[in-house]
Structures are given as structure tokens and as C-alpha cells.
């Protein structure tokens, strides 16, 4: 991140995960102190307290998945761990007994079709922040892989044209500071990228 240092005496630092192929918000800390505060805010404990007391998750993702979940809303709670596939490439898998705790709340917003195949628009609320958590929880926990996810989706479960980009978007972040003159914490939202907007239009979603 040195290219984003500009006139500051230190480069910015990452404060949370964002998959390389995902779109949306990425929050950087300008100083060590700010980065530490943001990382505490985005920590697993902060997510749990937010969900229990405020009912306002710190981070909200939008995804388009193949098929649709059985229930309108719910929670996926499956432990995750790193596993090497036959080619030696590392993947994240559900690993009962040996994995780390991972939990994701979800809500189905709308259903639609892409290339004649059923899809659904989900809002995802990560309670924990594990690598590739949302992708694995959708594919394995819900049986509804994210469109464009060539790593964790079975080809037969995805609509035709699934070679397109990953349909996972970091839509909203609530920051731990209030906007001047307002009582609410600062909220940042990111517009959908072009490839996801095209799917929204095709499905008639607003």
C-alpha cells in the first residue's frame, strides 16, 4: 500500500479482509492508532456485541447465488480450516472438529433467473471474519454457491455464463465514529460494480 501513502509519514494499513475478486468497500487505517481502533471494531467480539445489542452489523455484503436457500433468513455456523487439494493449492473447507469457529447471518432479498437458471440475492452479515468465509458458507452451508466463484462452486450448480466475475460485494460498513452534527455512527456504502448491476437489471431488482 505504499502508493497510497501520499504526504503521510507512514503507509496506510488494512483493517479487515476483502477477497481479491470481491468488490466494494475496503477500509484502511492512516495511522497505527487508527488501524488498531478499526481492527477492534471489526473483530469477532465487536460483531457479536453489535448483533446482540444494536441489531446493526458492522459489515454488510451483497451476493448473488445459484439457487436459493431453504429459509428466507438464518445463520450458517460451520468451522473452517485450510486444506490442500490434489494439485497442492490451498482451499478453505468446512473442517468439523479441527477448524476455527465461523458464523454468517443471511437474509434473502429477492429471487430471479440468470440465463434461465434460478438465482437469489442475499444480504450476508459476517459474525466472524475468516478467509473466504462467505463463499464457503454459501456454497457448503446453504448449497447456493456465489455466481462467478470458480474456486468453491460446483459447475453444475451455477447458471450458464458463470465464468463472469464473482458476485460478492462489500456493500456497507458502520465505522466507530459519529458523523459531525449527527447522533448515528458513520455509515459508508459502495455502489454495485458494472458486472453486478447487469445482473440486477436482468433480474428486475431495484
Active site residues: 19
Q: Are strands 23-24 and 117-126 parallel, antiparallel or unpaired?
A: unpaired
Q: Which residues on adjacent β-strands are paired with residue 45?
A: none
Would you list the DSSP string of 82-108? EEE-TTS-EEEEE-TTTSBP-EEEEEE
Q: What cell numbers appear for 175 in the block?
A: 465505522
Listed in sequence order, the residues at least 6 apart from 116 whose beta carbon sits closer than 8 Å to its beta carbon are: 159, 160
CA dihedral 31, 35, 41, 43 (to 10 degrees): -170
| Residue for grid cell 471489526 | 42
66 CB-side CA count, 13 A = 26
- The enclosing H or E element of 37 equals helix 32-41
DSSP for 55-67 reads ---SEEEEEEEES
DSSP label of 146: B
Which residue is associated with the grid cell 453444475?
Answer: 156
Amino acid at each position: 500500500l505504499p502508493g497510497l501513502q501520499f504526504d503521510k509519514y507512514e503507509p496506510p494499513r488494512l483493517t479487515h479482509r476483502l477477497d481479491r475478486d470481491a468488490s466494494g468497500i475496503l477500509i484502511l487505517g492512516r495511522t497505527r492508532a487508527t488501524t488498531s481502533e478499526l481492527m477492534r471494531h471489526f473483530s469477532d467480539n465487536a460483531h457479536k456485541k453489535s448483533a446482540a445489542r444494536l441489531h446493526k452489523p458492522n459489515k454488510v455484503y451483497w451476493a448473488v447465488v445459484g439457487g436459493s436457500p431453504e429459509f428466507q433468513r438464518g445463520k450458517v455456523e460451520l468451522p473452517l480450516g485450510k486444506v490442500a487439494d490434489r494439485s497442492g493449492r490451498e482451499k478453505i473447507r468446512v473442517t468439523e472438529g479441527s477448524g476455527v469457529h465461523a458464523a454468517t447471518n443471511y437474509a434473502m432479498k429477492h429471487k430471479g433467473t440468470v440465463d434461465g437458471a434460478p438465482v437469489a440475492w442475499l444480504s450476508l452479515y459476517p459474525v466472524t471474519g475468516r478467509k473466504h468465509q462467505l463463499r464457503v458458507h454459501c456454497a457448503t452451508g446453504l448449497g447456493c454457491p456465489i455466481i462467478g466463484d470458480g474456486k468453491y462452486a460446483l459447475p453444475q450448480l451455477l447458471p450458464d455464463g458463470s465464468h463472469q466475475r464473482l458476485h460478492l460485494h462489500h456493500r456497507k460498513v458502520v465505522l466507530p465514529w459519529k458523523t459531525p452534527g449527527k447522533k448515528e455512527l458513520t455509515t459508508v456504502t459502495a455502489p454495485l460494480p458494472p458486472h453486478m448491476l447487469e445482473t440486477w437489471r436482468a433480474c428486475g431488482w431495484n
